[in-house]
Amino acid sequence: MSRLKAAVIQVCSGLVVSENLAVIERLLMAHQQEQIDIFVLPECFAMLGGPQAEVALQADEIREWMASTAKTLAAWFIGGAVPIRDSCDGRHHASCLVYNPEGKEVACYQKMHLFDAEVSDGKGRYRESDDFIPGAGPELVDIGQAKVGLSICYDLRFPELYRYLVAQGATVFTVPSAFTKVTGEAHWEVLLRARAIESQCYVLAANQAGTHADGRQTYGRSMIISPWGDILAEAPAEGAGVIIAELDLAELVRVRQQMPCLKYVLKN
């Protein structure tokens, strides 16, 4: 099969995990009959705006929900970040989880680049390192028709991660995010399109959208982008919803053949 049907989910997550999951489930089930191959949820989909320690206490339930939902949808299901405890260190990783259509967890990417920054918005100071430790390395998932390179939000600013993933065979990138409104207005689209163009990959970017309990404002505008940099689907700046696009893998091959930039990457 040379095509994949992808769906990206956008939400404005609140403080109650069960309520957030219920909202997402309603959005997903509205598209259950559309034979979608891969669904992507945004960063912090289970809860945003409160202590991540509270989410960590419910991590097992969130994983069970993801496994069950993937099986119900009979599709690949990707979402993060979920706080997952490091078995050796005892602290948590911001983790992107991947489930196959049978509901089995097949990958857990641990966010490598933690968002420690000052932003001129209602929250102001962001220190992910107060809650998380960085992951050790990149993660790639073979879903049969494509290889999916995993990333989370702030990772988007580090092109070397995507260069590594494409050198390992990635044809699709997923970017679950909670990009702020301020940084999103400045950089969201240009960074997503740059990652797609320079790596000649499809990009599935699921963003949070709205104002959260801690004053954080997220940018929305979730996107699906082609290897040529075209925006195939885009969500609005506010509100929950689902965007869908077909990923033409034969077209990806043609782009790489006609503009053979990656031969310089793959030699390294």
Which residues are catalytic, by number?
A: 43, 111, 153
Distance, CA of 220 to chain centre: 13
Q: Could you give the CA distance from residue 177 to residue 36 in angstroms, rounded to a whole number?
A: 21
In the block, tokens 């929950």 appear at: 240
Query: How far is it, in rounded angstroms, from Cα 153 to Cα 207?
Result: 8
Phi, psi of 232 (to 5 degrees): -85, -30
User: Which two three-digit tokens encode residue 72?
Assistant: 């119900």
Q: Are 203 and 230 in contact (CB under 8 A)?
A: no
Instruction: Decide: 157 and 110 in contact? Cβ < 8 Å.
Output: no
Residue 173 identity: F
Name the token pair of 136.
């050790």
Q: ∠235-242-157 over CA atoms, to 5°?
A: 55
CA pair distance 64, 80, nearest whole angstrom: 14
